[in-house]
Amino acid sequence: MEYTINEKISVRPITEEDTDLIILWRNKPRIMNNFLVRTEVTRETHLNWLKTKVYTGNVRQFIIMEHTDDIIRPIGSVYIRDIDNEKLTAEYGIFIGEDDALGHGYGNQLVKWAVDYVRDMGMKTFTLRVLADNKPAIKSYEQAGFKQVDLVKNFIDGRDLVFMEIAFEDD
């Protein structure tokens, strides 16, 4: 199912046809530098991710689509991972793969959409992990309602890791 975020972006479920784009994006130094796992993504590892995570329902992954006057194009991916239907928890992740799609506020809009999406799934806690020096991401997450709950010093390459979460109130 496709979800319209606003007139400029939407998301659709990831497919195997997106593999080449995911490999291209995830292996960019700019993106890899902000991921906690720094291994190169190959066709085999991505297809295994789809098979063991996405197709099993442990991850809901979407391709971000940018809408302009001329074209609709994929620009990145947003995902809800580690979905635990017993503990009612899930974790957020995102990357904008196209360099010229940065700086348009898409990340801010997508995290707010994801918060509503996860709440609608019935989750009670939505978490994320972010490197402490990724200040724009942290600001975006805070604006969406995430609060810092923990910090691990010198997690990777001397960089600290911030744990953030939103606890949803019972309606």
Domain containing 99 equals 3-124
How many Å apart are CA 102 and CA 67, to the nearest integer? 14
* Structure-block tokens of residue 132: 């402490």
How many Å apart are CA 144 and CA 85, to the nearest integer? 23
In a domain, 149, yes or no: no
From the list 18, 31, 35, 19, the residue with the least C-alpha distance to 157 is: 35
CA-to-CA separations, 100 to 16, 71, 96, 104, in angstroms, rounded: 24, 14, 9, 9
* Structure-block tokens of residue 154: 């010198």
In a domain, 131, yes or no: no
The whole model's pTM is what?
A: 0.94
Pick left, alpha or beta for residue 98 (phi over 0 → left; psi -120 to 50 → alpha; otherwise beta).
beta
In a domain, 111, yes or no: yes
In a domain, 46, yes or no: yes
Assign residue 106 the CATH number of its domain: 3.40.630.30
In a domain, 155, yes or no: no
Task: Give the model confidence (pLDDT) of 71-109 as tens digits.
Answer: 999 999 999 999 999 999 999 999 999 999 999 999 999
In a domain, 87, yes or no: yes
How many Å apart are CA 20 and CA 124, to the nearest integer? 34
**How many domains, in total, are found in the chain?**
1
Per-residue pLDDT of the chain (171 residues; tens, 9 = 90+): 899 999 999 999 999 999 999 999 999 999 999 888 889 999 999 999 999 999 999 999 999 999 998 899 999 999 999 999 999 999 999 999 999 999 999 999 999 999 999 999 999 999 999 999 999 999 999 999 999 999 999 999 899 999 999 999 865
In a domain, 103, yes or no: yes
In a domain, 18, yes or no: yes
